[in-house]
Amino acid sequence: MTRRIATTVAVLALVAAAFAAGWFAHRPPQPTGSNGVPNVIGLTTEQADIRLQQAGLLLEVRSIGGGTDRVITTQSPAPGGRLVPGTSVEVSARCFPVPCPFPGTGKTIYDPCTCASR
């Protein structure tokens, strides 16, 4: 009987180890980044684009009108959070959308005020 218990415990340990290995191998990507999400409020969309690229993130602009200086008034997620590299940070900027030409196959316009695309 003791041998049967020892065998059962060994099998359960192997199943648990296999489950844990599979979970770690296939879990969703964890947010990373040395600086997290930078604060881009108060910057122009061009300045924010550079700062976010340096952090490994992408810019997504939403026009709110109210001016033509393209200054960012809000951002989401908030500064200091952590995101997976390549994730977009959505900002609201004082600008008016302009008619943009087709950006090209496979590209999208991420700043409707300057027609910037990627």
Q: What's the CATH number where 69 sits?
A: 3.30.10
Going by the DSSP 8-state scheme, the letter that residue 39 receives in this structure is P
- Give domain status of residue 28, yes or no: no
Looking up tokens 């196959």, which residue turns up? 105
- Does residue 13 form part of some domain? no
17 Cβ contact partners less than 8 Å away, ≥ 6 residues apart: none
- Which of 6-15, 19-28, 45-54: highest mean pLDDT? 45-54
Q: Establish if 30 belongs to a structural domain.
A: no
Domain count, the chain: 1
Q: Is residue 9 part of a domain?
A: no
Residue 4 lies in a domain: no
Query: Is 6 among the domain residues?
Result: no
Q: What per-residue confidence (pLDDT) applies to 21?
A: 58
Instruction: Specify the pLDDT at position 34.
Output: 46
- 62 in Cβ contact with 113 (< 8 Å): no
Provide the residue range defining the domain that includes 82: 45-117
Residue-wise pLDDT tens digits, 64-87:
999 999 999 999 999 999 999 999
Residue 15 lies in a domain: no
- 89 forms beta bridges with 59
Residue 24 in any domain: the answer is no
